Amino acid sequence: MIKVIGAGLAGCEAAYFLAEHGEKVRLYDMKPRGFTPAHSDKNFCELVCSNSLKGKDPYSNACGLLKEEMRILGSLVMSAAAASETPAGGALAVDRKKFAEYATRKITNHKNIEVVCERVEKLPDGFAIIATGPLTQGALADGISAICGGQLKFYDASAPIVARDGIDFDHCFAGDRYGKGGDDYLNCPLDKEQYDAFVGELVKAERVRLHDFEKGEIFEGCMPVEVLAARGKDSLRFAMLKPVGLRDGNKKFYAVLQLRKEDAAGNAYNLVGFQTNLKFSEQKRVFSMIPALKNAEFLRYGVMHANSYINSPQCLNCDGSLAARPELFFAGQITGVEGYVESAASGIITAVAALKKLRKEEFIPPDPRTMLGALCAYIRTKREDFQPMNANYGLLPPLDEEVRDKRERYKKLSERALDVMRKYKENSDI
């Protein structure tokens, strides 16, 4: 019997992998009796921020490559995504309710998994995987902090969601960037005067707990839109409001906000890239300045919260086990990988390592030429300033040949990674 603490993406991946390989698993989670400040769904694998799992293409997108590697390893999360996908052009977006329901059914109906609804207050005895995520709280957090020499923190943010019925379709048009993916996004243009007025109000809008957000604490991948706007008047036009590749007939635009479907029916839309820490009343006031959202009904406002992660290079072995207690493994965002897909992938490889240790077999980490192997290497390599990391091609070792064209280089890196991952699976007998 192996215990898995936490039924988020990493914990569910770990539990499912172990169960599929014949191990008895006891999965602990406080849902539905208790929730973290960011969670509200009774189901497991709840997506808190965006409903997007980022890019699909495994040959041009680093996260797309990681997803394909996960499929090779039998990922539960990738199966859940396939069963709940909503149109989003080149991105893999899901209906978050259907996604969580699918994963929960797979977990609760598995003959080798026992689910225990309980808040775990201390590090367990025996073999266990800790996948409690970046919002680990209370006595368990204190215990982890003590044995790992302290926890680090950064701040994470989510974007608002609006109802379809409140969107002004006279001031937006459907279509994806560069005409890819059909009509998966609603595009909300702003002219220069509208953009300037919007940015002006955005940067002076009142924020929640403003004193907490020092520059060094904000993770770049979750930068609040108001913080980015304060960096310069045109910052948003080169980020989430970039108009490049978006046209309505022959019309070109100064800036464009994209809305992405939150559910398959298209009844709710996410403001793409609009993670924020503004007060709710300010979100309503400022975001309604965008013409298409002047009468918007906000189904969920954006929120920002502190995330915690351990200093993995200092306290974890190469297999993800705790140096001080090798029978304990850590997986997911608490280890310093950042993002839904990265967290889930961490759960799979930690389960592989735990399985090998349970069976007294040698664990060989995935080759760093794979995206999963490169992420593992990143969180195991000692460095002075350890920060959370997303999947990116910069983590991979260079090709043996020089390839100047970026698209062709990414394609070759991906082909190499997938070939290596297939061989890894075969040779590891998993």
Kindly compute the dihedral angle of the four CA atoms of residues 406, 368, 67, 219, in this order, to the nearest 10 degrees.
Answer: -80
- pLDDT confidence of residue 210: 43
- pLDDT confidence of residue 181: 61
Q: Are residues 397 and 335 in the same domain?
A: yes
- pLDDT confidence of residue 129: 98
Domain boundary among 302, 318, 346: 302
Which one-letter amino acid corresponds to residue 15?
A
State the Cα–Cα distance between residues 70 and 76, nearest whole angstrom: 9
**Average predicted confidence (pLDDT) for the chain:** 91
Q: Are residues 178 and 132 in the same domain?
A: no
Q: Are residues 13 and 141 in the same domain?
A: yes
Q: Are residues 212 and 353 in the same domain?
A: no
Q: Are residues 277 and 352 in the same domain?
A: no
Residues in the chain: 430
- pLDDT confidence of residue 211: 41
Q: Are residues 396 and 347 in the same domain?
A: yes
Q: Are residues 146 and 219 in the same domain?
A: no
- pLDDT confidence of residue 39: 62
Q: CB atoms < 10 A from the CB of 285, how many?
A: 14
**Domain of residue 236, CATH code:** 2.40.30
pTM of the model: 0.79
- Domain enclosing residue 103, as ranges: 2-153+308-428
Q: Are residues 62 and 191 in the same domain?
A: no
Low-confidence ranges of the chain (pLDDT < 50): 210-216
- pLDDT confidence of residue 177: 85
Q: Are residues 27 and 148 in the same domain?
A: yes
**Domain of residue 47, CATH code:** 3.50.50.60
Q: Are residues 228 and 330 in the same domain?
A: no
Domain boundary among 248, 269, 302: 302
- pLDDT confidence of residue 37: 63
